[in-house]
Amino acid sequence: MSRFDTAIVSHVPIERWKQTPPGGGPCIAALLFHMTYHEDLALNTAVRNHAPLLDQHRRALGIDHLARAAGLSETEDRTLTEALDLSALREYVSSTTTATSEWLDHLDMMALDAIPSVSARLEHAAGLPAAGLEWLHAMWTDKPVSWFVQWECVAHRHAHVGEMLGIRARMGLSPF
């Protein structure tokens, strides 16, 4: 089980994942989608030059009518959050983390030093041109594969699970 499963799923009922936490800020569902989409785009698109796994899940998630950039920003998009099917979100998360794990299991360590052509891949494989997403393209440009693994697949996820722990506590659901 992941830290998310033991710390959030085990204590916060899924029907509360879309609830704006006391004091404001993004809800658990928005954070979960955001961190997963970043991992998906980083590894599958920026590094591997594939379409994001999200493309296979958009309809089930209930977001096929929304812009492809929805959910990338740190600021919660309530239209996205309200549209999300939470069972489908759990499946998207599982598919993404499984794909990441499988790719890492077979990774040649020499690949970690490669610097992918991120902007072209985001635009052509994911339909996310730099216009309107300058911040993402700039943040990811000239980064080695190791950075995408360390930041987007590990640290970014870890940071947002920590944020969810704070939300759990503000909801009065901490087991401590």
pLDDT above 70 for 1: no
pLDDT above 90 for 49: yes
| Whole-structure pTM value | 0.96
Q: What is the pLDDT of residue 30?
A: 98
Q: What is the pLDDT of residue 68?
A: 98
Please report, for the chain, the start and end positions of each structural domain, with discontinuous segments joined by +: 25-170
Q: What is the pLDDT of residue 71?
A: 98
- The rounded distance, in Å, linking the Cα atoms of 41 and 81 is 19
Q: What is the pLDDT of residue 3?
A: 86
pLDDT digits (tens, 9 = 90+) for 93-130: 999 999 999 999 999 999 999 999 999 999 999 999 99
CATH code, residues 25-170: 1.20.120
CA distances from residue 51 to 5, 82, 172 in whole angstroms, order as listed: 27, 25, 39
